[in-house]
Chain A
């Protein structure tokens, strides 16, 4: 049992009280931002990111339902704010905003807001909030510039600027933001929401400082971060020392025809620390799939955290044992002004590469690749008023050792289906009818452990509309592992009312739809793990009964035959099929 050297009686209590207090502060801020935001992208289940950082830009606490991509951006941006604005020129009531991917940001639409928190007239902490705002210009409404080739086409660039000075809104800056937006009221409403969230954190921290004093508060925070670091290092030390290699191949960037992109990692575990080297990773893309540094780092930390105790708090202590080499000019550390809006493609590839590599250290935690999030927009105008909506759908999760992949829950580091818009509110707001949203039988990669299923969503436009789509892992579907087969590839299709069905590219902009045309979105299934013929026939039967695998799929992919009632395995025929070991679909070694 660990013996905590610093723990004294009072400190143990105070530490716990402060820990709860800070956790609630950022959570509360996140709720305020998401509920008061105006962006149509803030769907019912979505979360805004809220975080507390100290003056050394250490992450102290972050909202818990938030994607690590957003929290990493807040953490990585703060040093750039501090570089741009001297601490001693900041005043109480100042609020700053920025969105530059080359200064810790993500892409134009993700606006970060910071508010300094003062103790004894000096800045002691920063409250940070981030949300995907409605629109900040660029070639595509709402920020899905799937084929953008530089940051200028992605939208307004905000260097670190004051959004408020000493409590007074900086009207001139806000007017510029509004003037660059297709929906000025909404984007300014979103900025208001971000500022309101930052105020919430500031107020809570002020209360804590009022009770404990700023120095004491910082002391307890430092101790908490140190404790997280100790836990991280203790867990990392459990991984066998060595260097582990992994990789993942991206379909393409939608711009450079025929070019795939490799993400390569060498993960070195040593003495409770981890170094991740991306040497060998593809050069940056012309298209928008580049990941800015903060985004790559979020993927790195996410991947590593999958191999330690998941209950470790998410604060600076998690980051400390981590070092990286990110080759300049590569997909994971591009030179400006490379476009970064589709960074989820590269970040998710980095996560897969790390999971792949660390499976060498912990074979029991190996997993096959997952389907990626598919993002698409539909836009049009009704009665003269423009409308636009951003949609998401998820692919199947890769199979894990000992467990099938979850269906359509998104690759690992995303937060699950609560962000998928529901159909009724969509149809109430937009001239659309969703005709189906269903799992795709047989789409999970066959394996001893099966990949999760992808989804098919069919959206019919009731009038003229334009669609932009962005997906990946559709040309090269999520590979299987250890003899498991890849998941079935996803697709974007347009079923025309009066013309033949068209297949769209995985990344395509401005596809025109007429009334009655249907956009069909199919997400990829997750990869399988282990040879499909090693799967327990009873599990295959259960999949057939549940509709995850068709009887034909059971025979083709798993060599399992069912009795005519469809409720029993035909043991004799199955044994025969499996003895003859026919070649199942795609069991050759995968792209890894």
Chain B
């Protein structure tokens, strides 16, 4: 571990900015302060300076700053940035306007349904006479005159970003490269992105949209990161900034500015990476990440220490299935940690639908006015209000010095939920809590059983401000036997950023029947991708690098591919046979059918990871003391599934000793969150101060459990 210094992780959320700083000896220093929405960098710099000062560390000792940001997502969702021009093949200028929206769920029956407007204005779409065929052959050559005419019109329009996407450019980048070069020459200030560079994968709509998102976010991202680096330099941090990308690696600020589309799930990915690191720490290679904040809960999967990745994503995806629902939101074709996000967070509102059923979310009280108990003018009951009344939260405060009003919470729940349903307030609060759990269970199910994964084999890692309150109950729902709430759970994502490695993932479409493919050819595709990846990471042949290869394969004639991991290293002559076998196995595992149809290779993928020196992971030594700890105080608490309050012991997390054991019913109160320990659950504190929790009755086989879905056996 040569050259390791102080590493800073900063995660910006809607309400709070979290800072984690690892000193060179591995000691962690944590901080949480309100996000500064008008310019989040203000909060970042302030937080970093504060935590460094508290820890007695000098700014000049900082060697890495790793940042998780929702900037790219917000730019897309709020349609900020731009204007962006799209340059495409003649005849296809309406590509974006036609779109590929699906009408799902409620939209299906909405007479007034109108698809969302495309991110590119019709007046900024430019067609160019050129055409390639599916094998990259030139059907219509690109004339110099056409390029000149294009740049003349673009110069008049003067867009901030330019996305170039020609049909079949994944098979032949020449036309796009010529046009992109001409655009850069003619409009030196514009951000120019060519689809063959951004993501050379077949399917023009997603590739064009991915390129447009790049051109939209690029200028904003470059400005933001440049400014952040300058401000950090002003306080003496000169190492530059790295940004977490959607698949959980990190990229340099320069790379993020070049391919900003890769950061769309920067914020969400950090949580899953964190869960993986916690799993590694406690010796659990298979974990489910459960990150619950103010407005949403996010879940993800880590298997064998690796986060599960998906290869496309819908920003702002709609309906109960969110980002995985094709045809909703803005599709982005870059690898992303496979996340499910549901509208159930601390701020989610409880309401009664027209049929008289109690519902929770997806509407949120947000930071303003916030839950009723915050006393900032909110009158609608939220999950946080319910949790307060059930005794899970300390009325004297949350992080950031908010005092919670039980009276306001009770009033809101009474008027909106309890009175209309004829329940008493405590029963109503309990119902709200449980329905939020049911919604979150759907998110866990989505990343587990729906993918053919049995959650009972996993450890559930609960974090985020609200996660530790709900995690034990959720585990019971799924029959999960092992739960971890990490020390620093409230800022866990920032801790995760500290331990991440620079990574690049690249794709190349190469459509060929596997039986007809030449292994030398296939090897060349992978080798080229690896060479490109090395260049992007700035490493030469000698430097150590983790290389992962994968291939997208499908049965001949099918529209959907499956991604199959393949061994690194050169393609052996029998490599193709191996590919087919692996595909057939994976196919049977996923769909329960053994296919015998011919197999097509569609895409080659490589993922390169450059392991960097990190501060040694130092045990966050808890104080020594008795294994049977004493509660700090007691409070009336009504646990999930119980119908009355009990006087429950509350333990102070900060004073619990390593090896301390306690049993539910109890609460473990930390500086920024509370772990709810249901009756009969058992808790042990490990050497890193993590709360290891074993829920009661874990042998039950309740709703959440399930085996591989599609086995027909």
Contacts and interface: CB of A to CB of B under 8 A. Distances in A.
A21 B703 contact: yes
User: Counting chain A CB atoms within 10 Å of each CB, which of B94, B100, B442, B587 scores highest?
Assistant: B94
A416 B103 contact: yes
Interface in B103-144: 103-115, 121-123, 131, 133-134, 139
A211 B701 contact: yes
A436 B445 CA distance: 42
Interface string B698-713: 0001110111011110
B100 A207 contact: no
A192 B703 contact: no
Nearest to A25: B709
A403 B139 contact: no
Contacts of A312: 355
Contact of B115 (A3, A24, A406, A438): A406
Contacts of B168: 424, 427
Nearest to A440: B94
A437 B94 contact: yes
B303 interface: no
Interface string B293-308: 0000000000000000
Nearest to A229: B355
Given A44-B203, A44-B560, A196-B591, A367 B111 contact: yes
B559 interface: yes
Interface residues of B, number: 95
B386 to A, nearest CB: 13
B352 A2 contact: yes
B527 interface: no
A131 B16 CA distance: 47
A458 B131 CA distance: 14
Interface in B79-104: 90-95, 97-104
Given A24-B446, A310-B108, A32 B710 contact: yes
A2 B442 contact: no
A311 B101 contact: no
A425 interface: yes
B1 interface: no
A65 B100 contact: no
B593 A192 contact: yes
Contacts of B90: 436
A203 B709 contact: yes
A417 interface: yes
B523 interface: no
A360 to B, nearest CB: 15
B321 A27 contact: yes
A37 B560 CA distance: 9
User: Counting chain B CB atoms within 10 Å of each CB, which of A235, A305, A417, A546 scores highest?
Assistant: A417
A199 B446 CA distance: 18
Interface in B490-547: 511
Interface string A1-39: 111100101001101111011011001100110111110
Contact of B559 (A42, A234, A308, A438): A42
Contacts of B587: 36
Interface string B580-605: 00000001001111011100000000
A406 B357 contact: no
Contact of A32 (B557, B591, B702, B707): B591
**What DSSP secondary structure best describes chain B's contact surface?**
loop
A423 B204 contact: yes
A40 interface: yes
Given A4-B356, A231-B355, A547-B122, A38 B94 contact: no
B92 A436 contact: yes
B284 interface: no
B357 A20 contact: no
B670 interface: no
Contact of A12 (B98, B435, B555, B701): B435
Contacts of B420: 1-3
A486 B423 CA distance: 55
Contact of A409 (B101, B139, B353, B450): B101
B441 interface: yes
Nearest to A37: B558
Contacts of B557: 38, 40, 186, 429
B355 A12 contact: no
Contact of B434 (A13, A21, A35, A195): A13
A65 B421 contact: no
Contact of B101 (A4, A234, A417, A455): A417
A455 B98 contact: yes
Nearest to B419: A1
A207 B701 contact: yes
B98 A227 contact: no
A439 interface: yes
A424 B327 contact: no
Contacts of A308: 109
A306 B111 contact: yes
Interface string B48-59: 000000000000
B202 interface: yes
A545 interface: yes
B631 interface: no
A79 B112 CA distance: 35
A207 B705 contact: yes
Given A12-B435, A24-B446, A422 B101 contact: no
B114 A406 contact: yes
Given A44-B203, A424-B204, A2 B356 contact: yes
Given A21-B703, A310-B109, A3 B356 contact: yes
A227 B358 CA distance: 12
Interface in A304-357: 305-306, 308-312, 355
Contact of A189 (B108, B133, B204, B597): B597
A64 B97 CA distance: 25
B184 interface: no
B355 A4 contact: yes
A22 B400 CA distance: 41
Interface string B415-428: 00000111100010
B325 interface: yes
Contacts of B357: 4, 7, 12, 15-16, 227
B114 A427 contact: no
B430 interface: yes
A13 B421 contact: no
A16 B555 contact: no
B673 interface: no
Interface string A391-433: 0000000001011101111001111111110111101110001
Contacts of A436: 90-92
27 contacts: A12-B435, A20-B442, A24-B445, A35-B560, A36-B590, A36-B710, A38-B558, A45-B102, A199-B710, A207-B701, A211-B701, A227-B355, A231-B354, A231-B355, A309-B354, A403-B112, A407-B97, A409-B115, A416-B101, A416-B102, A424-B204, A427-B134, A427-B167, A427-B168, A436-B92, A438-B93, A455-B98
Given A2-B354, A200-B709, 14 more contacts: A9-B423, A17-B703, A21-B703, A43-B559, A196-B592, A203-B706, A203-B709, A227-B356, A309-B354, A355-B111, A423-B204, A424-B168, A424-B203, A433-B131
Interface of A: 1-4, 7, 9, 12-13, 15-18, 20-21, 23-24, 27-28, 31-32, 34-38, 40, 42-46, 64-65, 68, 185-186, 189, 192-193, 195-196, 199-200, 203-204, 207-208, 210-211, 227-228, 230-231, 234-235, 302, 305-306, 308-312, 355, 365, 367, 400, 402-404, 406-409, 412-420, 422-425, 427-429, 433-439, 455, 458, 545-547
Interface of B: 90-95, 97-115, 121-123, 131, 133-134, 139, 167-168, 170, 202-205, 319-321, 325-327, 352-359, 420-423, 427, 430-431, 434-435, 438-439, 441-442, 445-446, 449-450, 511, 555, 557-560, 587, 590-593, 595-597, 643, 701-703, 705-707, 709-712
